[in-house]
C-alpha cells in the first residue's frame, strides 16, 4: 500500500515553478464557442461566476448546477487562485473541465501573485482579449492595477475595441469593479464611466468583492458576480430583443 | 562542541531542484538544518527560484541501518511578490499569505554502513496550502495528489 501511495507522489522542486503546458484555454474554448455560431440559436444564456480561490466544495456544486441548465458558455471573472500557484490553477481547472459547455477565465489580482502571470498566460492566454458572438462584443480586461507591472487597465486598447465594433450589444468583463475607490482615483473612475456610456456598453461584469450585487451604472448594468462561497451565480440571457440578467441561488 | 555536524544534499521536496545545507544534531532524536535551494530557469520554465529552508527533524527510531522520522520545513522563496508594498504597489498586509511557507513530512533514512557517516533519505511531504485546501474541501480533493517527494544524502561529520 505504501508503494501505491508513493507512486502517486511527485518530485516537486518548488511550488513557484511555472512548468505548465501551454494550453491557451481561452482561445481553445472560444474556438469551440464560435465553431457552430451560424447554426446556434440567436437566443442564448451565459453563466457568470468569479473568485473561486479555494472554494472547491461550492465550485463543484456550481458546476453541477450549471450543467443542469443549457448555458452556451461560462465566464469566470478572475481570482481562480489565492496565490497564483500552479497547483491552484490545476485544481480549479479540474473542476472547470467538468463543465459541459466551454468556459472563459479573466485574470484576477490573486492570479497575478508570485509567478501567476506567467502561469495565466500559458494556461489561459492573453490578459486582454475580445471576441464577438451573436452580435455581442465581449471584452476581457486585466484591470488589476496594483499587481500588474505595466499598464492595467489599458484604456486606450479598450476604447479602440469598443469603438471599432459594430456589435449591437457590448459586455465588459474584468476582475476589479472599475469604480473601486480603494484602487482607482476619482478621475480614473470618471474616465471609465464616460467610456461606458459613450461606447454604449450594456454590462460590466466583475468579481473581487465576494458578495454578489448588481446595480445600474450610468446607462449600463454593473454586476459583481460574487464568489461561489456565497452560493449565488449570475445568468445573462441574450435574446434578439436585448440582454437581461438574473441572480440565481444554488 | 561543533555548531555543525552534518551536511545535506537534497533533490526536490519543494525547496529546490537541488538544495545544499548544514545541520546540527541537538539530541539523539532531534536535529535542525539550514538549506539553500535553487531551481534554474530551465527547470522552473520561468524565473530562477531561490529558496532558504529551515529544516527540523524528529527521529522516531534508533536503529543502526534504517530509521523513520518526521519534520517540518519552513522555507522562504526570494523575490516572490506578496504582502510588502516594497515589492508591489499595494498596501502592506493586503494579502494574508506571505512568502514564508511550510511543509510537513515523513521520512526514511538508510545508513550505508552500520553507524556510518553516510545516509540516504526519502521524504514525502505536504505543504501548508495543500493542508488547508484539503481540510476545507476534503470531499473534493484527492489526498494522494497532495504529497510531494524528496530524496537526499546526509553526511555526518562527527
Nearest to B114 by CA among B53, B63, B39: B63
pLDDT at B83: 38
Give the mean model confidence (pLDDT) for residues B86-98: 65
Write the burial class of residue A215 (CB in 10 Å: 0-12 exposed, 13-18 middle, 19+ buried). Answer: exposed
Yes or no, beta carbons of A6 and B12 under 8 Å apart? no
Nearest to A74 by CA among A43, A108, A98: A98
- Are A13 and B14 spatial neighbours (Cβ–Cβ below 8 Å)? yes
Give the mean model confidence (pLDDT) for residues A225-249: 96
Given a cut of 50, whether residue B84 has pLDDT beyond it is no
Interface with chain A: mutation pick from B13, B68, B78, B80, highest number of A CBs within 10 Å: B80
- Are A115 and A123 spatial neighbours (Cβ–Cβ below 8 Å)? no
B145 CA: distance to closest CA in chain A (Å): 6
ipTM (interface predicted TM): 0.90
Judge whether A1 is closer than 8 Å to chain B, CB to CB: no
Query: Hey, what's the torsion of the CAs at B76, B79, B85, B89, to 10 degrees?
Result: -140
Per-residue model confidence as pLDDT tens digits over A5-49: 666 678 999 999 999 999 999 999 999 999 989 999 999 999 999
Chain B residue with the nearest C-alpha to that of A61: B140
The residue ranking higher by pLDDT, A123 or B98, is: A123
Is the overall model pTM greater than 0.80, yes or no? yes
Give Cβ neighbours of residue A166 (< 8 Å, ≥ 6 apart).
none
Nearest to B58 by CA among B72, B37, B77, B47: B72
Per-residue model confidence as pLDDT tens digits over A147-200: 888 888 999 999 999 999 999 999 999 999 999 999 999 999 999 999 999 999
Q: Residue B86 gets which letter from DSSP?
A: G
Q: Kind and range of the H or E element at A172?
A: strand A169-173
Nearest to A139 by CA among A195, A189, A93: A195
Chain A residue with the nearest C-alpha to that of B10: A13
**What is the average pLDDT score of chain A?**
94
Give the closest of B15, B101, B137 to A56, CB-based.
B137
Give the mean model confidence (pLDDT) for residues B17-27: 96
Yes or no, beta carbons of A146 and B88 under 8 Å apart? yes
Yes or no, beta carbons of A147 and B88 under 8 Å apart? yes
Yes or no, beta carbons of A14 and B144 under 8 Å apart? no
Q: Find the length of chain A.
A: 250
**Residues in chain A closer than 8 A to B39 (CB atoms):** 13-14, 16-17
Pairing outcome for strands A232-239 and B6-12: unpaired
pLDDT at B31: 96
Nearest to B33 by CA among B10, B6, B65, B13: B6
Yes or no, beta carbons of A18 and B130 under 8 Å apart? no
| Phi and psi, residue A22, nearest 5° | -85, 90
The residue ranking higher by pLDDT, A63 or B91, is: A63
Given a cut of 70, whether residue B150 has pLDDT beyond it is yes
Give the mean model confidence (pLDDT) for residues B36-55: 94
Give the residue carrying C-alpha cell 474584468: A174
Amino acid at each position: 500500500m505504501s508503494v501505491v501511495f508513493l507512486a502517486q507522489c511527485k518530485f516537486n522542486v518548488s511550488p513557484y515553478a511555472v512548468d505548465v503546458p501551454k494550453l491557451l484555454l481561452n482561445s481553445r474554448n472560444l474556438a469551440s464557442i464560435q465553431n457552430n455560431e451560424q447554426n446556434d440559436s440567436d437566443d442564448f444564456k451565459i453563466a457568470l461566476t468569479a473568485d473561486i480561490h479555494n472554494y472547491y466544495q461550492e465550485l463543484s456544486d456550481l458546476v453541477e448546477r450549471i450543467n443542469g441548465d443549457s448555458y452556451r458558455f461560462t465566464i469566470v471573472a478572475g481570482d481562480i487562485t489565492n496565490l497564483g500557484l500552479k497547483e491552484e490553477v490545476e485544481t480549479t481547472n479540474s473542476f472547470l473541465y467538468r463543465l459541459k459547455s466551454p468556459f472563459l477565465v479573466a485574470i484576477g489580482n490573486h492570479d497575478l501573485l508570485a509567478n501567476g502571470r506567467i502561469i495565466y498566460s500559458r494556461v489561459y492566454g492573453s490578459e486582454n482579449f475580445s471576441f464577438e458572438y451573436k452580435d455581442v462584443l465581449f471584452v476581457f480586461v486585466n484591470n488589476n492595477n496594483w499587481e500588474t507591472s505595466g499598464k492595467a487597465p489599458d484604456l486606450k486598447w479598450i476604447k479602440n475595441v469598443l469603438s471599432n465594433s459594430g456589435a449591437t450589444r457590448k459586455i465588459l468583463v474584468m476582475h476589479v469593479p472599475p469604480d473601486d475607490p480603494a484602487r482607482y482615483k476619482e478621475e480614473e473612475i470618471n474616465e471609465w464611466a464616460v467610456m461606458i456610456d459613450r461606447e454604449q456598453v450594456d454590462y460590466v461584469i466583475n468579481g473581487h468583492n465576494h458578495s454578489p450585487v448588481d446595480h445600474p451604472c450610468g446607462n449600463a448594468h454593473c454586476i459583481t458576480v460574487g464568489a461561489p462561497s456565497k452560493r449565488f451565480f449570475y445568468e445573462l440571457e441574450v435574446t434578439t430583443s436585448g440582454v437581461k440578467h438574473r441572480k440565481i441561488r444554488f | 562542541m561543533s555548531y555543525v555536524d552534518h551536511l545535506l544534499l537534497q533533490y526536490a521536496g519543494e525547496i529546490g531542484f537541488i538544495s545544499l545545507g548544514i545541520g546540527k544534531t541537538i539530541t539523539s532524536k532531534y536535529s535542525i538544518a539550514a538549506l539553500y535551494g535553487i531551481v534554474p530557469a530551465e527547470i522552473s520554465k520561468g524565473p530562477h527560484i531561490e529558496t532558504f529552508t529551515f529544516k527540523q527533524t524528529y527521529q522516531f527510531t534508533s536503529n543502526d541501518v534504517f530509521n523513520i522520522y518526521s519534520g517540518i520545513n519552513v522555507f522562504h522563496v526570494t523575490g516572490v511578490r506578496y504582502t510588502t508594498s516594497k515589492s508591489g504597489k499595494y498596501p502592506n498586509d493586503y494579502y494574508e499569505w506571505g512568502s514564508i511557507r511550510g511543509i510537513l513530512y515523513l521520512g526514511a533514512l538508510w545508513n550505508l554502513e552500520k553507524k556510518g557517516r553516510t545516509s540516504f533519505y526519502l521524504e514525502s511531504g505536504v505543504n501548508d496550502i495543500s493542508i488547508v485546501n484539503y481540510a476545507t474541501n476534503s470531499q473534493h480533493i484527492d489526498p494522494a495528489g497532495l504529497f510531494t517527494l524528496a530524496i537526499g544524502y546526509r553526511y555526518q561529520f562527527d
